[in-house]
Structure 1
Amino acid sequence: MDLRQLRCFIAVADTLHFGRAAQRMDMLPASFGRQIKLLEDGLGSRLLVRTTRHVSLTAAGRRFLDGARDVVERADRLEKAFRDENEDRAAVLRIGAIDSAAAGLMPQLLPHLREVHPEIEVELFEQKTIRLIPRLLSGRLDIAIIRPPESSDPRLTFQHLFHETAVVAVPKGHRLAGRDALSVADMADEPLIVPDRRSRPHSHDLTMKLFLEAGQSARIVQIAEEKQTIVSLVGSGVGLAIVPKWASRLAVGGVAFVALSPPSAAVRDKLSLAAVWLRDTRHPARDAFLEVLHGKLAEIAATA
């Protein structure tokens, strides 16, 4: 039995739904279910009754829940007290960032942060949202710039920053490459490259939702994970891709970037960036970073 297993069990007890509980923990359903099974196997008792439509606590599960909450809350208090004590000793700021933030936002922000706060040492860790949130919760990161998940963990504070602009990456020489703007209807029947939904749900769902709203079927011919790979595949003629505007800065030849029109609520929602950190924690370097970020936000958002 470990804290991760207890947190998973509490999430199920709170939601009575494995899917929503897995989202709250930012875990894949299979991994989440494995944690519950390990907990029950370790205790030698069944805590949950799960059918295809319903989840409920067993009598043992109800007895176990209060103790599990107490253990997790005491561990969180201990961690918070230790972290608060140590944050005053060093001005090291550990920032997590998804690719959009690492390539589009941080290069504009970090030079200004160094100018205003040269005493702050920044450690930058680039990864996907689904990997960054557990690092925040475990204290391995102080703040992260992410796509806000559909289900927010109550232990975290989320602050919306801005919405990025979506563009269409098109092979140069393609009949659509010379257009000023493209609609989803213009891309009907065109081969598309999309990210893997398991690791990049926001980027994947962006393309799918746009085509769904337009009453079109997305013709997916290739799934890839990294933006650099996706844009390179576009350049080699594999297909088109809907990507954030910052991807146009990648040094990939043979690709034209065309505006996506008309603007859609799906684009705005799926390309949202947010700052997130552990609730009720003190961190002077993080607060200084947020102050600099807010001062430059309008300028950065105008180019996103």
Structure 2
Amino acid sequence: MDRPELPLHHLHAFAVLAEELHFGHAAVRLGIAQPPLSQQIRRLEERVGHPLFHREPGRISLTAAGRELLPAAQRALAGVAAGLAAARDAGSGRTGRLRIGFAASLALTVLPGLLRAFLERFPEVRPDIREMTTAPQLAALHDGTIDVGLLREPHSGEAELGFATVLTEPFVAVLPSAHPLASLRSVPLARLADSPFVLLPRAAGPGLYDQITDLCAGAGFTPRIGRHAVEWLTVCALVEAGLGVSLAPASIRRVRLAGVAFRAITPGTARTRVAAAWCRDDPNPVVANFLATLP
């Protein structure tokens, strides 16, 4: 039958005594009396089958067996200490991986600042950034393939998810620079009624899509969808090509295309919400730390 593994405290006692070469001094460092220390060393020597120390009046020294055991004992103790430290860091969320889904337009606005603030506080965490629209983010949160989503206008009814507003921003009209309304500082929304629209498909983000169509309905018309595009950059490119106009979150103005004009709209009271989303029952401490750094 295999003999039981060595108790770790026996190796610790041996390593300390090998450094001090004095039972009294080693006992003080270990916080125990000298007799228990002697017993631990004796048990370790029984397991090895040879003395680990020469014991002479007034002094002790390592035997050949002790000199051979010491570096192995030190490596074992260091490995355990490193493992405990790593476990503490992981348990507190100071290390690990954070998988973040984000809407493409947020790469132009909040994403860099959020990541910078988080990584300044938790530099050992490895971010895994994944670009995806709102609906795929919600699905990924439910199936556990991302930890946090940064998305627009999440639909209600997601009881398993928590949401925290990161920012709100107004809408702007996205127009070809040659469009007659591009000369205005602010575009009355009703005057877009006769133009075809380029929008993200509803499946990509139902909340935002419905908010845009509701804005148009409030201005007295139903938008005539001429084209769909999955990304806002593509929306802008299609507008630049003269294939329609669009309504978009104001952060889209960071897209620089010579043939596209971004204009405020009237009425301009509507705002779109960007939220962080996470699973409420997710015990991942890295997620809690990320949420704590949100503005």
Residue in 1 that maps onto 2:126:
121
- Change in CA separation of 1:112 and 1:130 when aligned onto 2, cut-off 3 Å: same
- Whether the 8 Å CA contact 2:100–2:129 is kept in 1: the answer is yes
Q: Is 1:200 aligned with 2:205?
A: yes
Give distance in 2, aligned partners of 1:101 and 1:260: 21
- Change in CA separation of 1:85 and 1:94 when aligned onto 2, cut-off 3 Å: farther
Correspondence for 1:175 among 153, 176, 180: 180
Number of aligned positions between the proteins: 207
Give distance in 2, aligned partners of 1:190 and 1:155: 40
- Match runs of 1:23-38 below 5 Å: none
1:255-288 Cα offsets, whole Å, 9 max, x none, are 1110122124xx33xx212111111333332222
Give distance in 1, aligned partners of 2:244 and 2:166: 31
Correspondence for 2:264 among 259, 262, 286: 259
Q: CA deviation at 1:85?
A: 11
Find the residue that maps to 2:109 and give its secondary structure. Answer: helix
Q: CA deviation at 1:104?
A: 1.8
- Whether the 8 Å CA contact 1:92–1:123 is kept in 2: the answer is yes
Q: CA deviation at 1:251?
A: 3.3
- Whether the 8 Å CA contact 1:87–1:283 is kept in 2: the answer is no
- Match runs of 1:5-20 below 5 Å: none
1:191-214 Cα offsets, whole Å, 9 max, x none, are 221221122323332332112112
Give distance in 2, aligned partners of 1:114 and 1:97: 17
Residue in 2 that maps onto 1:243:
248
Q: CA deviation at 1:147?
A: 2.7
- Whether the 8 Å CA contact 1:193–1:239 is kept in 2: the answer is yes
Residue in 2 that maps onto 1:159:
164
- The TM-score normalised by the length of structure 1 is 0.62
Give distance in 1, aligned partners of 2:178 and 2:106: 30
Give distance in 2, aligned partners of 1:221 and 1:148: 23
Give distance in 1, aligned partners of 2:211 and 2:188: 14
Correspondence for 1:133 among 133, 138, 145: 138
1:121-156 Cα offsets, whole Å, 9 max, x none, are 111111112111222122221111123433333222
Q: CA deviation at 1:181?
A: 0.7
Residue in 1 that maps onto 2:291:
290
- Change in CA separation of 1:95 and 1:87 when aligned onto 2, cut-off 3 Å: farther
- Whether the 8 Å CA contact 2:135–2:206 is kept in 1: the answer is no
Between Structure 1 and Structure 2, whose CA radius of gyration is higher? Answer: 2
| Aligned-partner residue type, residue 230 of structure 1 | V
Find the residue that maps to 1:242 and give its secondary structure. Answer: strand
- Whether the 8 Å CA contact 1:195–1:203 is kept in 2: the answer is no
Find the residue that maps to 2:287 and give its secondary structure. Answer: helix
Correspondence for 1:186 among 163, 185, 191: 191
Give distance in 2, aligned partners of 1:153 and 1:215: 31
Give distance in 2, aligned partners of 1:178 and 1:240: 14
Q: CA deviation at 1:248?
A: 1.5
Q: CA deviation at 1:230?
A: 0.7
More displaced 10-residue stretch of structure 1: 233-242 or 110-119: 110-119
Structure 1, unmatched stretches of 5+, are 1-83, 295-304
- Whether the 8 Å CA contact 1:113–1:292 is kept in 2: the answer is yes
Q: CA deviation at 1:160?
A: 2.5
- Whether the 8 Å CA contact 1:191–1:239 is kept in 2: the answer is yes
Q: CA deviation at 1:97?
A: 1.2
- Change in CA separation of 1:161 and 1:109 when aligned onto 2, cut-off 3 Å: closer
Give distance in 2, aligned partners of 1:200 and 1:148: 8
- The TM-score normalised by the length of structure 2 is 0.64
Q: CA deviation at 1:86?
A: 11
- Whether the 8 Å CA contact 1:136–1:278 is kept in 2: the answer is yes
